[in-house]
Structure 1
Amino acid sequence: MPIFSRLLSVILRIGEIGCAAVVAGIVGNDLAHFDDADSFPNGRWIYTIVVAGISILLGILWLIPFSESFTLWIGDLLVSFAWFAAFGVLVNALDKMSCGATFDWEHITDGGVCDRWKAVEAFSFISAILWLVSAIVGVWFSHRTRDRRPVAGDGLRTGRRGFWGRRHAV
């Protein structure tokens, strides 16, 4: 396994776990502190924290180095789609609040609810991009290593004996 693709995979996994942990921490804190069910879109936060929890779990499991982790790119792609959906529901909810535009980053350090909401929105988008890049790296690695495998029909001897004990080229 090439060192570059393994190193890139580890860096992406650490970034994915970090972004998911930030999102889970902020959303979990907000869910714990708000009592009024009508004032905030709790369903969106619950979906986001579930996606963050799944991302943390899969990121830690897939961080374990083995060569088959690159073939799990379809899982990376599905988690990326889940993060893009979380980003979409957060943007939709932010439009209904009086926090300004989605990408309006003025007064981001004021410490209000809108600042935390925009931070969750930003980290969910970054996490979606990281999972998508991880899927692309997995596809690239899978197709690159698949092309290097020998094919039995290329005149290569398989090293196995035939039915009657004689060698033959397949």
Structure 2
Amino acid sequence: MDAKEYTKGTSSRALHVFFRLGELVCACIVVGLIGRFLFLIDEANSARLVYGIVIGSLTILFSLSFPLDFLMFAAWLIVFCLLETLTGISTCNAFWLNDYWGYYWGRWYRPGINWSGCSAWRTVLAFSFIASFTYLLSFCLGLYWVMTYYNRKERGNQAFGSSNTE
């Protein structure tokens, strides 16, 4: 094996590892913040939040599997859309955020814009979108790598110890 073959696809592999770590970090942040919220209210009656926890947990489990990348991208995009529709365009002034999220995070109704619950909610939205985007990029990069560097004929010859390529 010469040096050119050894370095083949090094940058794509490095990017792939970077995306995998990004997916894992985003999932841990979203699961941690929503999990804290569910702990504070001591009940899980919002299906959207439970869906976010489930997809985050599945991401933590499947962050190393290439074939599931596109499905996880779609699932994270759904999480982002479901959570975004709770507050709509008025993120920290929405009725749901003030009356539900605000009470359990700060124990008061009608909290201000710069309170910790608002930043936590924005963080959940941001990292759920970032997770979906990193899964999309990871899927595209994995597909590129498979289409470019995966050659069954060369792999079969290497498996049998033959150095001849036809």
**8 A contact 1:83–1:128 mirrored in 2:** yes
- Dislocated runs of 4+, deviation >3 Å: 148-151
1:56 maps to which residue?
Answer: 60
Q: Does 1:33 align with 2:37?
A: no
What value does the CA root-mean-square deviation take over the aligned residues?
Answer: 2.8
The alignment's TM-score, normalised by the length of structure 1, stands at 0.67
1:14 maps to which residue?
Answer: 21
2:86 maps to which residue?
Answer: 93
Question: Cα distance, 1:35 vs. partner?
Answer: 4.2
Q: Does 1:75 align with 2:80?
A: no
User: Structure 2 stretches of 5 or more lacking a match?
Assistant: 1-7, 95-111, 155-159, 161-166
2:115 maps to which residue?
Answer: 110
Measured against aligned partners, the alpha-carbon deviations of 1:13-52 in whole angstroms (never above 9, x if no partner) come to 1111000000000000000001477xxx721111001100
Alignment of 1:114-129 (within 5 A): 114-129=118-133
Alignment of 1:114-153 (within 5 A): 114-146=118-150, 150=153
Aligned length: 132
Question: Cα distance, 1:5 vs. partner?
Answer: 1.7
Deviates more, 1:1-10 or 1:74-83: 1-10
**8 A contact 1:31–1:42 mirrored in 2:** no
Structure with greater helix percent? 2
**8 A contact 2:93–2:113 mirrored in 1:** no
Amino acid at match of 2:58: I
1:155 maps to which residue?
Answer: none
Change (3 A) 1:34 1:97: farther
Larger Rg: 1
Question: 2: distance between equivalents of 1:43 and 1:140?
Answer: 36
Question: 1: distance between equivalents of 2:58 and 2:25?
Answer: 13
Question: 1: distance between equivalents of 2:139 and 2:114?
Answer: 33
